[in-house]
């Protein structure tokens, strides 16, 4: 009986709509409160059409756009970590600082990967 209830919830179309709403709320919150996310969205908006135009085939376009999406995804995760750490407390703690630094490092690596992807794909033209 318990399995049926779970199965019904998984296939509930309303669940999909609620999940989409939560995702849109998260994007709006990040755009409203995170300057870095806004800057990365602007870079995405400028480079995405260029990536579609410069990519010679679907694979190149996927690499160029995917690397840009990856930066946004990692920034969202970094912002979520920072919000959770700040929720626990504003007082400095070594583990809190380490978590925030690791999130920042993840964003830096995503940006580096995006830049490297663009250089390698476009250098082959």
Q: Which residues contact 118 (CB under 8 A, 6 or more apart)?
A: 47, 51, 64, 67
Residue 84's CB is within 10 A of a number of other CB atoms, namely 11
SS3 1: coil
Q: Which residues contact 27 (CB under 8 A, 6 or more apart)?
A: 76
Is there a catalytic annotation at residue 75? yes
DSSP calls for 13-79: HHHHHHHHHHHHHHHHHHHHH-HHHHHHHHHHHHHHHHHHHH-SSHHHHHHHHHHHHHHHHHHHHHH
Active-site annotation holder among 40, 60, 75, 82: 75
Instruction: Cite the active site residues.
Output: 75
């Amino acid at each position: 009986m318990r399995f049926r209830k779970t199965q019904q919830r998984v296939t509930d179309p309303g669940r999909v709509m609620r999940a989409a709403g939560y995702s849109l709320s998260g994007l709006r919150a990040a755009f409203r409160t995170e300057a870095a996310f806004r800057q990365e969205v602007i870079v995405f908006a400028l480079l995405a059409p260029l990536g579609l135009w410069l990519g010679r085939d679907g694979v190149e376009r996927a690499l160029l756009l995917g690397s840009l999406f990856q930066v946004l995804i990692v920034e969202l995760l970094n912002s979520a970590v920072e919000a959770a750490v700040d929720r626990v407390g504003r007082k400095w703690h070594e583990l809190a600082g380490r978590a925030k630094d690791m999130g920042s490092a993840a964003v830096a690596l995503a940006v580096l990967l995006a830049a490297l992807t663009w250089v390698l794909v476009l250098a082959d033209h």
